[in-house]
Structure 1
Amino acid sequence: MKNLLNALNGGFVTSGLGADPAYADVLPTGVNFYATNPAKMPTKAAWETAKKIVDQLLTDYYQEHGKFPETIGMVMWGTELLRTDAIALAEFLYLLGVQPEWDDNGDVKAISQLIALENLTITIDGVTLQRPRIDVFTTAVTSNGIWINLMNNAVKLAAEAPGETTDQNYIKKHLSENGSLDRIFGLRGLVLEGTGISDLVPNTSKWGSSDELASVYLSRVSYAWRSTDNGVSIQQNRNTFQYLLGNMDLVTQTIDSTWRLLDTDDYYDWFGGMLLASQSLGGNPDAILADIRNKNNVVTRTAQEELELEIRSQLLNPTYQDSLLSTASGWMEYASRYENLFGMQATTGCVSNQMWTLAAQNLLSDRFTANTDYQAYATQSMLGWVIEASRRGMWQADPQLLTALKDKYMQIATDYGVCCCHHTCGNLAFNQYMVMGSSLSTAQLQQFSAVLQGATGELITVGSTGQTGQNGQNTGQTSSNGQSQAGTSDSGSISPEDVSAAQTTSTSGQQAGSTGEGNAHEVSRVGQQSSGQSNMPIVALVGVLLLVVLVGFGYFRGNIREFFRK
């Protein structure tokens, strides 16, 4: 209050950091505040929180495996570091057994202090253990040279710790095996972009296997960020990056806000990308997220636990649904959660079959009865994601449930037009899978095919004998990696011109039998067309020619009159 009155009187007020007191050293308040100061990060408060997080992560791993992890991979985002006063950066240091030092003004010194090995202790189940120095690397989304320099110096300090064996110091152990201390990786330049996975995943026709996604990640994120006297030097070091990923025991990221895994594609892009790349290289790491919204109660969850929490508290929560499904933009926002759910499954495989089933059943509720075009498009998109998950074998769907999802998708598309997303219009194999095992009538299937043909120009070929299998895959039609396979049955093609004008949409269709086997239909060409249909192109051509003649006559009429007068 004193400083407030002083400011109102035009007096001088000392400057100071304005941040969350839960993370930052901002007390006492009453200063002329500024938003952030990276030079002071991590703060002492952030350091204390980071030690709690690391101890919890190591405890979880030790209780599960009976040993400490040798290599931990971290995902760091610059915005999150700024919001939390660089808690994740402090975690990185503490895993190495290195402690930051601060100047009298609170600035962090470039060179940290090595924590004595005997002081690296942790209490697990009432027993105090001495832990080793854990090797840690990170994929960073930041251009802050101060932070990059701090981490690189800490890695070098830990690697040069005197008198320690490779059993006590995993940085030394891995240096002897690989020969590089590169531990900060990112994109080719200090840019805030994605790994490429979030660009490729929605384009479901462009990739078939998870190895293709991992290849994109490895090619883009394998650039080492090294500290030099002239700033940050960026050089690709894929060999070391792959070595670390292949030997990674745990991948982790901190969550400091309500912005979570299903709210954005960034999590499956970076966190999911790191996990997927490790698995593609033979690794089998644990995936743990640290919820640090309450520094006095740090909560760690596996990726599967976190996803289940978000599905139940968001996607399936009526209150959450009501808050979004009241506006057009809200429908689009809600639909994006299903895309991100698919992305998390594609990269982490952490969405259980039960959660997929609940998410699918949710779309058959009355809340998703499309009454407007934007509701129809959003619902189609969401249905498309769960059906695509079934097509790829990510979800072992109940046959009757899968049939109901397909029928609803095609009926909405017929009534409102096709929602042309990459995973729907852009994927012919998806649409071929859509019409197999449906309980809709042949006429309804023809109408859906005509609508799709008119929007995309693509023909749909449908086998005549397929039946939906127990795992939701149509036998002999599509493999789990999304590639179409040749069948033995005869097939036909249809186009809009093949659909008889007399066909009308049936709102009920034919229901699937109690055995769960859907009816498969062959959509064949109509053999004869009405005379009106066959003569229509000729009539249209004659009309166009007459129009051209009339326009030409009007344009040259003056010149023709002058010609005859002469």
Structure 2
Amino acid sequence: HHTLRAMRVEGYDVIPPATVDDLRQAVLYGNAARFGQAANVAARIPADDFVAREPYLREIEAQWGPAPGRHQSDGSGIFVLGAQFGNVFVGVQPVFGYEGDPMRLLFERGSAPTHAFTAFYRYMAQDFGADVVLHFGMHGALEFMPGKQTGLGAGCWPDRLIADLPNVYLYAANNPSESALAKRRIGATIVTYLTPPVTKAGLYKGLLDLKASLNRWRGLPPGAHEALDLALLIQAQASELDLCAAEPVWADPAGATDALWRNLIEYEDSLIPLGLHIVGAPPDAVERAELIAAMAEVEGADPLTLKRADKLMAEDHETPGLLRALEGRFIRPVPGGDLLRSPQILPTGRNLHAFDPFRMPTVFALRDGAAQAQRLIECHTSKGADLPRSIALVLWGADNIKSDGGPIAQALALMGARPRFDGYGRLSGAELVPLADLGRPRIDVVMTLSGIFRDLLPLQTRMLAEAAYLAAAADEPAEANFVRAHALDYAARVGCDLETAALRVFSNAEGAYGSNVNLLIDSGAWNDEDDLADAFEKRKCFAYGRKGAPVQSAKLMATMLADVELAYQNLESVELGVTTVDHYFDTLGGIGRAVKRARGTDTPVYIGDQTRGDGKVRTLKEQVALETRTRALNPKWFEGLLKHGHECVHQIEAQVTNTLGWSATTGQVDPWVYQQLAETYVLDPEMRARIAELNPKASVGIANRLLEATERKY
């Protein structure tokens, strides 16, 4: 809404609705109910017209059947969703098309967009006659359409759809990896926007009462006569909050209360996002103060840097950046990163770029990654387990770019390897750390890469594959080199060469992204958890070797997964938790489910929290509990969201859906989570009415997800 008003001031022929609510009503509701669509219908394209103008009709119909298809269609025409305001058309991008179709999600590699998707972009370019398209907010579908990863040509759908239409893309400043994909695949000019403010979670309701009782306990003198009664009260309070069992009575009250105290302090001090960022509305003084405090705590930034950051955040740089881009003017470049760690991303409103791939991982990342790898080992073994022989590790492009290769360094450290650089300091491969220096056996690491990692980090992909091969080929005892032990065993059983048996880097086929586990969960149209494992393995079974070319290797992957003893992924951003977006359970949850099926037993899943200080490793169950208490159940979090209205109920719905995704993929979410979510959002009449008024569809979605969790016995 701010953008439309700014365009009006600049002389564009646009008549913005009076309020944000009016804009929302016009775009998302309007005549939607009359046509049975998800948003207002701005235009209808007859099927005959679509067929006559679609040059790639045979490819689309081979995938989706005869025009006009089933999506955004009345059987004889295709609907274009959105609303027009003068010379500005605000459109709603169609979905991929296979949501809700579990069989297609299980087997689809993707070969064409839907009739509705292609019609949408042709409508903007030819019928509406747009001079430029502005993709407003990250995570669109266009850049993920089938085609080559880079250097797209006539056969690639992103290039076909955007054609020569200038493309401006408003993107989060903390996501250089996916914005780079948008640059490469749809020719986007990026304009950055700030991520939401952050704040400390604090405590609320029963947690505050529990802390008061714990403070009384900690102030008792030795041998105090009221200690027993107070310990019983604390145990009762904690059990009411599902922080401990009500029975039996604690045998060691001192140890139990100390553990509770540490948990409460962690909850209270956790950083959480506060609402949403509004383009054109800089953070206010209070929000800036909390951001500055968090920056000082996380990175220890100097006073001059903090003062500069406060000044830059107080001004709107994003709307002017968008207007410059729409006018075809130069947009200054800026590296991407997380604000708390990288204040140089300010001011926003600039053109995002990523990194120097020849310098990743950096020296700092190697040191930090090795330390985090050791923390993972210690966390696992502290629970009574032996040193793991094989680990499943999920690697994302975004996390590695923001941390200069920290997760890559973890993978290398676990295998006992390090990067090799040439005389110019450029990455040229991998080499092994001698066993004597490593001080423990080499751990076998099954690495699953996101499609964006594969696209943006080919040098690192080949380096990781080389590290695994070198470990497998090393003349070392099997008991000191688990990579070699597993590779030799597989080669002997299958009759393949060592090169094949040493493949450990897996991802999608070229031009494909994601495991589709998240889309299956979102659809709700899956029968049992093996469907999720099927989707993951079919989508992610392409092995990348030292030369970088993928080979479909389903049998090898299944065999390697059967040896995996734990699964692990890093968390690099305060804004995004494992229950905030569906990508975490799509990747880590997906491989966790595949490992469970391959092994026949539950497998530990860990999260490496790198958002503050030296980092910390938690079990997935601990991480979900932490995020549930500090975010979903926390009035500070949901009130911060609800003040933004319609979209924020959808954010809450996503939080519930993502939690269910973890239950489905790992089974490591406690039942109390769903009970308390239900009490907060559905069983409270005032809250239920409030969110229903703000977003009826999303409020029903929250209730339906909680019912689904009950039906699936989560």
Indicate whether the TM-score tops 0.5.
Answer: yes
What is residue 591 of structure 2 aligned with on the other side?
A: 274
What is residue 621 of structure 2 aligned with on the other side?
A: 304
State how far apart, in whole Å, the 2-side matches of 1:341 and 1:69 are: 27
State how far apart, in whole Å, the 2-side matches of 1:43 and 1:63 are: 30
State how far apart, in whole Å, the 2-side matches of 1:82 and 1:236 are: 27
What is residue 695 of structure 2 aligned with on the other side?
A: 375
Question: What does the per-residue CA deviation read over 1:240-293, in whole Å, with 9 as the maximum and x for residues that have no partner?
Answer: 101111111110000010211111110111110000011111253211110112
What is residue 239 of structure 1 aligned with on the other side?
A: 555
Cα separation, partners in 2 of 1:385 and 1:372, compared to 1, 3 Å: closer
Question: Residue 329 in 1 paired to residue 647 in 2?
Answer: yes
C-alpha contact 2:466 2:545 (8 A) present in aligned 1: no
Task: Decide which of 142, 145, 151 is 2:464's aligned counterpart.
Answer: 151
Residue 350 of structure 1 aligns to a residue whose secondary structure is coil
What is residue 225 of structure 1 aligned with on the other side?
A: 544
Cα separation, partners in 2 of 1:140 and 1:72, compared to 1, 3 Å: same
Q: How does 1:368-447 map to 2 (within 5 A)?
A: 368-370=688-690, 373-394=693-714
State how far apart, in whole Å, the 2-side matches of 1:42 and 1:21 are: 20
Task: Decide which of 287, 291, 294 is 2:609's aligned counterpart.
Answer: 291
C-alpha contact 1:71 1:134 (8 A) present in aligned 2: yes
Question: What does the per-residue CA deviation read over 1:19-68, in whole Å, with 9 as the maximum and x for residues that have no partner?
Answer: 789989x9xxxxxx974111100000000000110110111122223421
What is residue 169 of structure 1 aligned with on the other side?
A: 481
What is residue 96 of structure 1 aligned with on the other side?
A: 415
Question: What does the per-residue CA deviation read over 1:197-226, in whole Å, with 9 as the maximum and x for residues that have no partner?
Answer: 11111222x321101111111111111112
State how far apart, in whole Å, the 2-side matches of 1:371 and 1:21 are: 31
What is residue 114 of structure 1 aligned with on the other side?
A: 432
Q: What letter is aligned with 2:483?
A: I
Cα separation, partners in 2 of 1:371 and 1:321, compared to 1, 3 Å: closer
| Gap runs ≥5 in structure 2 | 1-303, 305-332, 345-351, 492-500
State how far apart, in whole Å, the 2-side matches of 1:319 and 1:215 are: 39
State how far apart, in whole Å, the 2-side matches of 1:98 and 1:23 are: 27
State how far apart, in whole Å, the 2-side matches of 1:165 and 1:181 are: 16
State how far apart, in whole Å, the 1-side matches of 2:691 and 2:637 are: 20
Q: What letter is aligned with 1:96?
A: M
C-alpha contact 1:23 1:45 (8 A) present in aligned 2: no
State how far apart, in whole Å, the 1-side matches of 2:388 and 2:410 are: 15
State how far apart, in whole Å, the 2-side matches of 1:138 and 1:40 are: 21
Q: How many correspondences in the alignment?
A: 357
Question: Residue 254 in 1 paired to residue 561 in 2?
Answer: no
TM-score if structure 1 supplies the norm length? 0.60
Shift of 1:355: 1.5
Question: What does the per-residue CA deviation read over 1:159-202, in whole Å, with 9 as the maximum and x for residues that have no partner?
Answer: 2223x2110000111012112111010111154x2101111112
State how far apart, in whole Å, the 2-side matches of 1:346 and 1:287 are: 13
Shift of 1:374: 3.9
What is residue 36 of structure 1 aligned with on the other side?
A: 355
Cα separation, partners in 2 of 1:313 and 1:21, compared to 1, 3 Å: closer
Aligned alpha-carbon RMSD (Å) = 2.5
Whose radius of gyration is greater, 1 or 2?
1
Cα separation, partners in 2 of 1:342 and 1:116, compared to 1, 3 Å: same
What is residue 520 of structure 2 aligned with on the other side?
A: 200
Question: Residue 181 in 1 paired to residue 494 in 2?
Answer: no
State how far apart, in whole Å, the 1-side matches of 2:579 and 2:519 are: 16
Cα separation, partners in 2 of 1:34 and 1:102, compared to 1, 3 Å: farther
C-alpha contact 1:135 1:170 (8 A) present in aligned 2: yes
C-alpha contact 1:245 1:278 (8 A) present in aligned 2: yes
Sequence identity (%)? 24
Q: Which stretches of structure 1, 4 residues or more, deviate above 6 A after TM superposition?
A: 15-24
What is residue 84 of structure 2 aligned with on the other side?
A: none
C-alpha contact 1:316 1:359 (8 A) present in aligned 2: yes
C-alpha contact 2:449 2:505 (8 A) present in aligned 1: yes
Q: What letter is aligned with 1:234?
A: P
Shift of 1:305: 0.3
What is residue 271 of structure 2 aligned with on the other side?
A: none
State how far apart, in whole Å, the 1-side matches of 2:336 and 2:536 are: 37
Cα separation, partners in 2 of 1:17 and 1:104, compared to 1, 3 Å: farther
State how far apart, in whole Å, the 1-side matches of 2:483 and 2:573 are: 32
| Gap runs ≥5 in structure 1 | 2-14, 27-32, 122-130, 395-566
State how far apart, in whole Å, the 1-side matches of 2:418 and 2:564 are: 23
C-alpha contact 1:311 1:355 (8 A) present in aligned 2: yes
Shift of 1:298: 1.4
C-alpha contact 2:569 2:588 (8 A) present in aligned 1: yes
Question: What does the per-residue CA deviation read over 1:142-170, in whole Å, with 9 as the maximum and x for residues that have no partner?
Answer: 222101111111111112223x2110000
Residue 48 of structure 1 aligns to a residue whose secondary structure is helix
Cα separation, partners in 2 of 1:370 and 1:175, compared to 1, 3 Å: same
Question: Residue 314 in 1 paired to residue 631 in 2?
Answer: yes
Question: What does the per-residue CA deviation read over 1:371-411, in whole Å, with 9 as the maximum and x for residues that have no partner?
Answer: 754433222111111111111212xxxxxxxxxxxxxxxxx
Shift of 1:103: 4.4
Residue 92 of structure 1 aligns to a residue whose secondary structure is helix
Residue 618 of structure 2 aligns to a residue whose secondary structure is strand
Question: What does the per-residue CA deviation read over 1:503-529, in whole Å, with 9 as the maximum and x for residues that have no partner?
Answer: xxxxxxxxxxxxxxxxxxxxxxxxxxx
TM-score if structure 2 supplies the norm length? 0.48
Question: Residue 139 in 1 paired to residue 460 in 2?
Answer: no
Shift of 1:329: 1.1
Q: What letter is aligned with 1:312?
A: R
C-alpha contact 2:416 2:433 (8 A) present in aligned 1: yes
State how far apart, in whole Å, the 1-side matches of 2:341 and 2:577 are: 19
Cα separation, partners in 2 of 1:20 and 1:203, compared to 1, 3 Å: closer
Task: Decide which of 660, 670, 674 is 1:342's aligned counterpart.
Answer: 660
Q: What letter is aligned with 1:335?
A: E
Q: How does 1:467-546 map to 2 (within 5 A)?
A: none
What is residue 413 of structure 1 aligned with on the other side?
A: none
